Structure formats: structure tokens, C-alpha cells
Copies of this chain bind each other. A is one copy, B any other.
């Protein structure tokens, strides 16, 4: 209920930022999936700190060790346990935050709810937890690949700098060609410029990530409380710093009329039924209709500033906080693989669920 995600294909994650390891258990993975360790590691590397000049200089190695569920390089259908050791943790960077509540962080609510917290590196509230999601997501992607399904996300906005083109007008193969993971080269350059500037000021940035899934069969999702976009939204809203989710025409589309937004059906030349437009974002009535699925996710600016901030300590005394340590000033580039991972997990889960809907 608390640290598990998914119905059939289900990840249970554990681990604090400065504990001995982050890890997880992937349950319900179909048997016989080829596990490509290099691919999994490459996904972790996309999330890894220190991968470029615009991310935190923390050097987390983040090597996954699989403990079970894989035999002769294939999934066996039994639970896949794995850990990623925490190394290069500088817990002393957090010593003076032991009793201070960082603004817009989870310190205060953890302390009040549980009566105890591991303050080092944010403990369980640290985005280090998302490594476990990237592991599960990489395995989900491998299974989806067999089914012809692809998932690609990209940074579509950083602060006020945004991509103004629809995903179809972009060359998504360029995503990995810039450290900011934006496939529009000009905008990418502006984003990088902005991140560097804001970082030098000790401040931080938010933005949006857009995600596109192709090759989806008709029929994933359930009508009422298992809507596919509901599961995707839930997945995205579980990612640290996410403040919003929209799919298809989203918030923008609410100002238009039904006659402008409806996706009219056509007979496809090669057989099959397709829509002309795709304001539905590939999902109608909660169920995939075979068109591309696309959605957008809002990330707030990172809460940890290398600037002075007013705050309060455990005893209720007002004080001034200035974070030390090695922090990102913009989480977007590193969040791209996390968005993809969660998307892949949802799609595989719903693919498996859909198999149960007929005898």
C-alpha cells in the first residue's frame, strides 16, 4: 500500500539516501524475459548524478546487483530482488540539518507523522529511491520491446524556456544528444545556458517532461477506476517534485469546443480504424485506442537552495538555513529516465491485466 507500485507487475522499493543500500523487489514479472545487464546499467547511468556539467557533481556509481529471480540471464517468474549500494554518501553535510526543517522538503511532515526520521540526505524522501524504479523500468522496457512498444520522454520546459513544437515535429532520436535531454537543439542550448546561470546563483529551476509511447495495442486500461491515464498519472505523481500531470489535450484543450477537440474516426487504408487527430492522447474512456500515448509532467523547482532561507527547527525556534552539499539545480534531465521507467511499468502491468479480461 505504501511502497509498492503496480498490480501484476509490481515494484516494492526500499532504502534511504544514506542507508547502506537502495533496493527493491519486482514481483509478477513474466518468466522468460531476457535480462540485458548492460542495458539496465545504461538506464541507471542516465539517472545517475555527475553525468554532465549541468547535474550535481555527486559521483554515485549506482551499480545494481540482482539477488534473485534471474537464472541463465532470463527471468524465472519468481521475484527479482536487487540492491544498489549507497557509496560516496557525505552524511556529515547534513549534520546541521538534523533538527532543522528544510522549506518545501518532507522533514517536518516525516518528523510529525512518524516521530522519528533519518535526516541524512533526506532519508526516504530522497530521489535516490528512484534508482529502484529505473531498474524495474528497464526490465519492463525489455518486455515491452518484445511487444513492439516504445517509451520516450524528453525535457520540454526548463523554467520559462519551453519547446513550442508538438512531439511529432521533433526528432526524438536527438533526446540523448544533449545533456538536458531536449530534442530541440536550439531550445536545448537555451535550457543549458539557463541552468548554468541559475546554478551559479545558488538557485534552482523546475520544468516539464513530455513522454510518448508508441506501438500500444487497443485495449489497455479499464473503464472506471483502472483507467490507463489514471495509472499513468498516479505513476507520475509518485515521482519526487512532480506537481501536475496532463495527457492528450490536457489543460490547454479545455478552452476549445467539442467540435474542435473530438478525434474523428477514419478507416485506415491498410485496414483498421484510426483517428485523424489525437487530442485523446491515445486513450479514450480510460482505454488505449491504438494511437500514440503522450502526456506531460510538471516538476517544481528543486527545494534545496544553496542560499539562505528562513525556517524553523524541531523545537519551534526560527533560524536561518543554508544548505551545503552537492545538489542539482535542475532535476529535469535526470528525471527523464524516471518518467520513462514509470511509464514502462504501467504499460507492462496493464498489458498483463488486459490478458485476464477474456477467458
Contact = CB atoms under 8 A, between A and B. Distances in A.
Interface in A240-284: 243-251, 253-267, 271-273, 275, 279-281, 284
B267 A206 contact: no
Interface of A: 1-5, 7-8, 10, 12-16, 19-25, 27-28, 30-33, 65, 67-69, 71-72, 74, 76-81, 83, 101, 103-106, 108-110, 112-118, 123-125, 129, 143, 146-147, 157, 159-160, 198, 203-208, 218-219, 221-227, 229-231, 233-234, 237-238, 243-251, 253-267, 271-273, 275, 279-281, 284-289, 298-305, 307, 309-312, 316-318, 352-359
Given A2-B27, A8-B356, A143-B359, A257 B224 contact: no
A12 B257 contact: no
Contacts of A116: 31-32, 71-72, 74, 76-77
Contacts of A260: 301
18 contacts: A12-B79, A21-B81, A33-B359, A76-B114, A76-B123, A77-B357, A104-B284, A147-B359, A159-B254, A160-B255, A203-B257, A207-B254, A250-B298, A251-B298, A254-B298, A256-B301, A265-B311, A355-B355
Given A23-B81, A101-B265, A204-B257, A109 B237 contact: no
Contact of A68 (B7, B14, B259): B14
